[in-house]
Structure 1
Amino acid sequence: MQSTIQRGQLFWASCLALLVTSLSFGIRAGILNKLGSDFNLNASELGVIAATAFWGFPLAVVIGGLVVDAIGMKRLLVLAFFFHLAGILLTIFASGYWTLFISTLLIGIANGTVEAACNPLVTALYPENKTTKLNHFHLWFPGGIVIGTLITYFFEKAGISWQIMVGTMLLPTVIYGYLFSQLKFPVTERVAAGVSTGEMYRSLGNPLFIFMIICMFGTAITELFTGQWIDVLLRNVTDNAILILAVSTGVMVVGRGLAEPVVHRLSPQGVLLISAVLAAAGIYLLGHTTGNMVFVGALVFGMGVCYFWPTMLGFVSENLPKTGAVGLNLMGGAGMFAVSVYMMFMGGYYDKLLGNKLPAGAVLADYNAAPAGSEMAGALAEAKKAAGPEILNATLVIPIVLAVAFAGLVIYMRGRKKPQQMTVAGA
């Protein structure tokens, strides 16, 4: 096992790498409109640029999971550093659509590579406390989004350029790159335990693993789609839609930081069941209330989704350890892929709902281009006010199904002997 100092340094370097990942989401979301005006990009082009990060992530996390045992976590994370550095610098010095497209793709690949290496690294560093430490590690994702949002808000108020906002990511990038290049890494649990590559791949066919992959589709969509779309869906329901996101994200940071007593008292599957119930209740409140009750909904929703992602990974690592790094990274890749597909589908459904709520024969593009204060703009606002909660109602089905699935998982795990955890040796 790593020395206590080495273990702590590796863990905090991992947290910094994930911070860069989340800052890239928060800052890019905050400067997207500015990029559009500076480079004369239309909404479609901006949409493609933003979506590139979501496609680069699952690609990198799956490929990284397949090669991490062969090339080692250290080489993978040094590679992530170079991708992050190149993507950030190319964004700062971007000259148009294609440089922004390539820079976003590089950052998306870097983000997926960080996830591919750091999830198995955390489980290798803390084999006795996997789910808790994965929650502590993943608190830096919502935490970084909050920090990134605040950076863009206050820097914009101060008249500071978007290039400098993006440049703030260079400091944590350089620090984590330096630390990872200097520190000694353990091998992954699977390699340390002598589990063969063939046995690892056979373990991926375990029905319990397939069940968890399917559930990961739902947990990821519930958390990430709803979080990304809260501002869009509720902007015409409340004047403080962005604050709703801040509330739910802030709750996630606190919840993941306090994961240890929760996970130990309830077990990972118990946490997942309660999370699904709370997430469903939160989405229902967001879609069916107004005024201050919307913030109550955001609070409940944040409590529900805060444990989803890391606890799903922790459950697989604890109960299906032979799936190794590939198992963890297939879970992460499946989750992000599901979100990207669901976003595209629901985006089309949202436009269809808006069209149905506008006068017969109305062209949505004309209403989007209508000047503020006009009759057409007012009609579009009312359509959005009605359509947003309908999208939430459609998404509500997912955590309800998850609650039933996780209730079954709790019952199943009561009669299943927990596998013995694998021991990690030093590299």
Structure 2
Amino acid sequence: MRLLWAGFMAILAAGVGFSIRNGIGGQWASLFGFTGLQVGLIGGAGFSGFCFGIIIGGVIVDRIGYGKLVVTAFLLHLLSAAITLIPSAGMAQQSAFLALFIGTFTFSLANGTLEAVANPLVATLFPENRTHYLNILHASWPAGMILGALITLAVGSSWSWKAQLALYLVPTVIYGFMFFGQSFPRSEASAKGLSLGEMMKDVGILGGAVAGFFLYLFTRDALGGNILRGLTGSDFFVSANWNYISMAAGAGFLLWVAVITKFAIGHWLLFVLFLAHSIIGSLELGTDSWIEAINGTILSPSEGKILFIFASAMMFGLRFCAHWIEDKLKFSPITILFVCSLFAIAGLYAASGVTAIGMAFGAMLIYSIGKTFFWPTMLAVVSDRFPSTGAVAISMMGGIAMLSVGQLGGPGLGYGKDRFTAEHMKANGQTAILEANKAEKPSQWLEFEAVSALDGKKLEEAKSVAADKRTPEQKAMAEAEIAGCRKLLRTDAMLPIGMAVIYLLLLFYFKSIGGYKPLTIAEEEAAKA
């Protein structure tokens, strides 16, 4: 139990840092003039590094042991604080962006390394009830978000953003103490002496292709477009040549998986679960990284923070109920995932139309029920059905989801907010206002067209003025952002619609084979025979 709660505290530290960063994003936009896309890219870095921590950690954890990874994560958390706290008023925008991006990336690298420990550890400790205990473990995430939001709500502008952000180091020290001196179990796959290649066979070429694709996006956009371009000032890292290098990185990973598994194709079900979890990453964490700001825009900043705390509190409480849902309602993990998708669809559509705080509480309640069980229940499904993969499959799946947030969910929602806001202004004859207040650089994401985005500093200034005292120009910008946020939430609802289709098809599949049940390695091998 001490190991369970040590893992709980480790993920709580990640949630605290995530929540505080969300709460100070507006200060960064105001201080450095960032666009919504730039804020989204920094937020996305808070997930991209997670991929490398969890995948690399998941591959080596059964070889080097949990303790060494915990020490590595602890040191990375300290390093991330040192880098992230460098920017100050008056610093050039690009320099500030680069420091915040790298510091946030390092923070997520530490988080991923910790989760490479916590997920397989809990799955191994509680093999008969993985869904329940993995949900308890991940209740720490909303608990951390609640603490972080309460911190920013309590201290507000009376503390600097640096002082607020540094508070995540408190739970960091606590989890380090709780893990210290503990002995750790081995996974079933590790105990049976399976090699890495044998653990990776169910991942195979299909699963490797999913991970390789997101690695390509990261290398091209985050590493090339942001980190290396910012460090060198060279456009080579956004050129066609760099794109080929990025393709080679993704293909190289796929080739490594193919070779180590002796070109095993991989299990189709694990491939589908990888795809579904990539959508979950963008939906749950991508939306979480923006929902406070979106609600704060539609209503007010303080109400947005209160709603964020409420949604996180619902998520925290509900994650202790997974066992009751399985036991009393007789829901299989796949049924839980399907029902959650329906709630997420309804919640996002409801949130897009709120006009008062009471309506917003109802919408956030529905959405919270939807998003609560996605992540830990998916980890339980993979652990239940593919025990021979040890820590590898659940670590890769978590890494894929986090890369999805970093490269698609976080920046995609930021781009969508910029684009829908600009489209509203153009549709209402406010193009001149948009041009007069646009950011220095256009907002562009993936292969979508570049759009003129409102300058973050000017937009925050407009919103800081009381509604009845705004100039016509300020009023136009504020109202356009509200309209853009509403359309963004409706567009975001397409993600759980896709997930509902996947889970419905999986329900039919498991019904056709006699129902869902956890497998041992022996049962898994017999099923393949």
Fold shared per TM-score above 0.5: yes
Match of 1:274 among 339, 344, 348: 339
Query: What CA distance in whole angstroms lies between the structure 2 residues aligned with 1:156 and 1:233?
Result: 18
Query: What CA distance in whole angstroms lies between the structure 2 residues aligned with 1:196 and 1:230?
Result: 43
Q: Is the 8 A contact 1:248 1:302 kept in 2?
A: yes
Q: How many Å apart are 1:230 and its aligned residue?
A: 2.0
Q: Is the 8 A contact 1:217 1:334 kept in 2?
A: yes
1:331 aligns with 2:397: yes
Equivalenced residues, count: 413
Q: How many Å apart are 1:15 and its aligned residue?
A: 0.8
Cross-structure match for 1:25:
18
Letter in 1 for 2:375: W
Cross-structure match for 1:182:
181
- CA change 1:186–1:222 in 2 (3 A) is same
Match of 1:354 among 403, 421, 425: 421
Deviation track 1:319-350 (CA, whole Å, cap 9, x = no partner) reads 12122211001111111111222332332233
Letter in 2 for 1:329: S
Letter in 2 for 1:213: F
Query: What CA distance in whole angstroms lies between the structure 2 residues aligned with 1:10 and 1:142?
Result: 19
Cross-structure match for 2:33:
42
Residues 5-404 of structure 1: pairs in structure 2 closer than 5 A: 8-34=1-27, 41-43=32-34, 48-91=41-84, 97=96, 100-156=100-156, 159-204=158-203, 205-239=266-300, 240-264=303-327, 265-291=330-356, 292-340=358-406, 341-358=408-425, 359=429, 361-362=431-432, 363=434, 365-366=437-438, 368=455, 369=458, 371=462, 372=465, 373-404=470-501
Query: What CA distance in whole angstroms lies between the structure 2 residues aligned with 1:36 and 1:403?
Result: 36
Q: Is the 8 A contact 1:248 1:298 kept in 2?
A: yes
Q: Is the 8 A contact 1:78 1:181 kept in 2?
A: no
Question: Which stretch shifts more, 371-380 or 311-320?
Answer: 371-380
Question: Which stretch shifts more, 142-151 or 159-168?
Answer: 159-168
Using the size of structure 1 for normalisation, the TM-score is: 0.89
Letter in 1 for 2:377: T
Deviation track 1:82-137 (CA, whole Å, cap 9, x = no partner) reads 11123235545766636544432321210111111111111111111111111000
- CA change 1:211–1:185 in 2 (3 A) is same
- CA change 1:90–1:63 in 2 (3 A) is same
* Seq. identity, %: 33
Deviation track 1:360-395 (CA, whole Å, cap 9, x = no partner) reads 533353465264411112112222222222111212
Question: Which stretch shifts more, 139-148 or 198-207?
Answer: 198-207
Cross-structure match for 2:263:
none
Letter in 1 for 2:353: H
Q: How many Å apart are 1:143 and its aligned residue?
A: 0.9
Question: Which stretch shifts more, 171-180 or 390-399?
Answer: 171-180
Deviation track 1:291-310 (CA, whole Å, cap 9, x = no partner) reads 22222111010001100000
Q: Is the 8 A contact 1:61 1:116 kept in 2?
A: yes
- CA change 1:356–1:165 in 2 (3 A) is closer
Letter in 2 for 1:52: A
Q: Is the 8 A contact 1:220 1:308 kept in 2?
A: no
Letter in 1 for 2:519: Q
Q: Is the 8 A contact 1:233 1:387 kept in 2?
A: no
- CA change 1:128–1:193 in 2 (3 A) is farther
- CA change 1:92–1:383 in 2 (3 A) is closer
Q: How many Å apart are 1:316 and its aligned residue?
A: 0.7
Q: Is the 8 A contact 2:287 2:410 kept in 1?
A: no
Letter in 1 for 2:274: I
Q: Is the 8 A contact 1:354 1:384 kept in 2?
A: yes
Cross-structure match for 1:3:
none
Letter in 1 for 2:281: A
SS in 1 for 2:186: coil
Q: Is the 8 A contact 2:54 2:395 kept in 1?
A: yes
Structure 1 gaps of 5+ residues are 1-7
SS in 2 for 1:266: coil
Letter in 2 for 1:248: A
Deviation track 1:151-192 (CA, whole Å, cap 9, x = no partner) reads 1221336x3444443443333222322332300011123201
Query: What CA distance in whole angstroms lies between the structure 2 residues aligned with 1:198 and 1:47?
Result: 37
Q: Is the 8 A contact 2:124 2:188 kept in 1?
A: yes
- CA change 1:79–1:258 in 2 (3 A) is same
Question: Which stretch shifts more, 217-226 or 366-375?
Answer: 366-375
Query: What CA distance in whole angstroms lies between the structure 2 residues aligned with 1:193 and 1:34?
Result: 52
Q: Is the 8 A contact 1:78 1:180 kept in 2?
A: no
Query: What CA distance in whole angstroms lies between the structure 2 residues aligned with 1:405 and 1:26?
Result: 30
Query: What CA distance in whole angstroms lies between the structure 2 residues aligned with 1:381 and 1:34?
Result: 17
Query: What CA distance in whole angstroms lies between the structure 2 residues aligned with 1:286 and 1:302?
Result: 11
- CA change 1:99–1:48 in 2 (3 A) is same
What RMSD over aligned residues (CA atoms) do the two structures have, in Å? 2.4
